[in-house]
Chain A
């Protein structure tokens, strides 16, 4: 009997079965999310406007990533008008030539999932002003950044460095009334960047609903 490749393969089959069973048994799941101070992970995605954008398109500009889900009470808190907190941040970002990207990572059938027309409708009806709304229904970009909650905010410097990762502000609550007295970390990070200073608070614990991957 000639020992061909096929035979080897066959012999390997059983051991492979063992190995595969084992692999499936291994339940270790550490997050390999990016760290602030390092390069922001490159991503590309389709937008509600129908185009495709990638992080590289905005080299040289400050970029804000906002994870959002319109059904989440914490997101509703920041979009509630008045005070229209999130919309205000988006407008002032636009005025400062900061690229604001809202990312919707809800999977199809899950809360907050939006196709292009629904996402556009949401932007209009809420008076929102993000530069782009990225439709990430596979959750790929969300997982790439380790987005855990809605809202979960990231700020990327013009040099492509991740300089802020965390909550939108300092008061973890779903009450609109708490916005006024809270420190907004995104505003603070953008101000530090603008002033050419290192971001004073680069990491906070995000609060909100879980991202509906």
Chain B
């Protein structure tokens, strides 16, 4: 459909060029924009300067360009046709309103411009000897594009009486409104640091930028890659943008352009800047700001991914039943059920089972709702991927450690909640059953730790229904054993009896927690260096200290414990946020000769005639680690690679890297792992499966 429309439009455009009159017969408009010259005045005095404007109204979906059109396109022009009445220099330059981005091909071709309606204001200096009237006869000459581009021209004219100045209120208002959209000079300092491969534009301004503001730089020239993302950092005194230079991009004396600021709930604001060369301004780059694109369009998990997640959540829910905080509740109820069944109330039992399930599900749905509310309120999801955000990783590691301590039995949680709940749950009837469900969920909540944590991490960026679905799956897993028991009471004999083994099991679950914490620390080392790991370990010690102090009870001890707790979480989070240069951190010990990947490197190696294996990996990618463990770091594979003279390249995506991101995108991959195999002498790689096997990889090496 779209194709047909494009062809028709192209046809229309072609015909339009050859015979303008004929195009109307095709059903398309004669032009895709209507242009009009307007003025803030109906009459003007000789010698004064007034504002006139070219107003363009476009067909839906069509756009015209900013003064810098970006990668393609051309800015509109107003050309005086007749200079007998006013000289050419009487008309000034356009005042360009703040443009928006026009991503023509996402990530590859970016234009800047306007759609719907735009008003280009320009000053008119009335000749001192003007008499009678001032006539402007001009041609609006512009390129207008949708999927295709059409150059259009339209003759426009304006006649202003010369005499007592008189205002045109309606057009004056319109022009005034559009002049207010013209970027103002930046009320602060702008610097461009072009020392590194990616440039940093820093903008300092009293009071900084509004909370949640997203900035984008529109250059007047072509020094930077227009389609590249502009990762943003912010601080108390302003913000900074990371810019990707264009192939031939160089900063002369300064980098000039417009910065567009989009803050939540506010009209976009534009500033004209001229950034002089120099190092990044202090207080503008303290923390990363998520990309607005990320916030708008979180990658939705496919149905399959969602089902898998829900499956894991369901399993997690089942395991919750074995937790020492849940099993006693269940056992008591189960025994009660047996006696009820014995006294011939089997029908009632079934309804109790259903009520219980309802109680659990309502509680988990409420929990999911709370998580969503927190997400809305804090914008947590817009932080982007948590495992690339050092403070989050540090705090996650500490939470895992704390959960481990709790599982070990170092401290107790939530006993008072359990007592309140059990009062309600001990009531008889449907209400009793319902509240037992609620109680099981509430007392189970602290036990959820590993399962909920993992599920949360995965669904946090997902749409609300997916989040709720995962929580409900976990709740259903938790409710299922009791539901089955209520329908088949005889099965209760199979229930394990509560006992010391529960405590042992709980303690055993501490070790996966500690291991997770250790893994998070290794991720942190890659992100923020060894210093951050040290601070996080110190924080963990502070946590343990807090637990130890709080055990004795009493106000002083509690205060001391809270202080230690605050330090324990706060310090690592702050310290982890200190940005590190690309040279620091993540120096993984190569198990055999491996080299950092770059497209040029691949090319060079291929030119040497060597086969190339590229490992796109990240320390936070678990399947990457599995593949290393089972395949890539094994002696068999290593020997096979050595024998076949395979060059092993590693593209480390632990920290965001635009070149790697581009390569992943080019190969149609959403993320790591990705494995590329270039047989000797071939420039096109094979993309290998995400889970490798030794036989597969060795087969490739021996075959190529």
Please report A residues at the B interface, Cβ cutoff 8 Å. 5, 8-9, 11-36, 39, 42, 71-74, 76, 108-112, 143, 146, 148-149, 165, 172-175, 202-203, 205, 207-213
Contacts and interface: CB of A to CB of B under 8 A. Distances in A.
Contacts of A212: 147-148
B671 A210 contact: no
A73 B12 CA distance: 12
Q: Which of A32, A110, A212 has the most CB of B within 10 A?
A: A32
Contacts of A17: 301, 305, 308-309, 458
A22 B671 contact: yes
21 contacts: A9-B626, A14-B309, A14-B312, A17-B309, A19-B621, A22-B384, A23-B669, A27-B107, A28-B661, A29-B106, A29-B658, A31-B227, A31-B228, A32-B662, A71-B13, A109-B2, A109-B3, A165-B247, A172-B74, A210-B73, A212-B148
Interface stretch (B23-31, B272-280, B291-299): B291-299
A73 B143 CA distance: 9
Contact of A12 (B7, B301, B626, B662): B626
A174 B198 CA distance: 34
A182 B472 CA distance: 68
Given A26-B671, A73-B149, A111 B248 contact: no
A212 B2 CA distance: 13
A166 B14 CA distance: 25
9 closest residue pairs by CB, A with B: A23-B671, A109-B3, A15-B622, A29-B107, A24-B299, A22-B385, A30-B658, A210-B72, A24-B670
A73 to B, nearest CB: 5
A111 B147 contact: yes
Interface in B168-226: 198, 222, 225
Given A9-B626, A20-B671, A71-B14, A31 B2 contact: no
Nearest to A54: B683
A64 to B, nearest CB: 19
A28 B656 contact: yes
A148 B110 CA distance: 9
Contact of B671 (A24, A35, A76, A207): A24
Nearest to A205: B222
A96 B170 CA distance: 63
Contacts, number: 209
A25 B385 contact: yes
Interface in B5-23: 6-7, 9-10, 13-14, 17
Contacts of A108: 3
Nearest to A43: B683
Contact of B659 (A8, A32, A202): A32
Given A13-B312, A15-B623, A174-B143, 20 more contacts: A14-B309, A16-B621, A17-B305, A17-B309, A18-B454, A19-B671, A19-B672, A21-B301, A21-B461, A21-B462, A21-B671, A23-B669, A28-B229, A28-B661, A32-B599, A32-B663, A146-B247, A174-B151, A208-B72, A210-B111
A21 B618 CA distance: 14
Contacts of B150: 73
Contact of B622 (A16, A27, A35): A16
A28 B298 contact: no
A30 B72 contact: no
B247 A28 contact: no
A209 B387 CA distance: 40
A114 to B, nearest CB: 12
A5 B622 contact: no
A134 to B, nearest CB: 16
Given A16-B621, A19-B620, A29 B247 contact: no
Given A209-B149, A212-B147, A25 B71 contact: no
B500 interface: no
A46 B403 CA distance: 61
B217 to A, nearest CB: 15
A12 B623 contact: yes
Contacts of B151: 73, 174-175
B599 A15 contact: no
B14 A21 contact: no
A50 to B, nearest CB: 21
A29 B13 CA distance: 32
A111 B6 contact: yes
Given A9-B626, A71-B14, A71-B148, A29 B387 contact: no
A73 B72 CA distance: 12
Contacts of A175: 151
Contacts of B664: 23
Contacts of A205: 222
A31 B249 CA distance: 12
Contact of A31 (B108, B618, B691): B108
A23 B17 contact: no
A148 B308 contact: no
A208 B13 CA distance: 15
A89 B61 CA distance: 36
B385 A148 contact: no
B665 interface: yes
Contacts of A22: 384-385, 387-388, 620, 671
B646 to A, nearest CB: 21
Given A18-B458, A19-B622, A111 B148 contact: yes
Nearest to B387: A22
B625 to A, nearest CB: 8
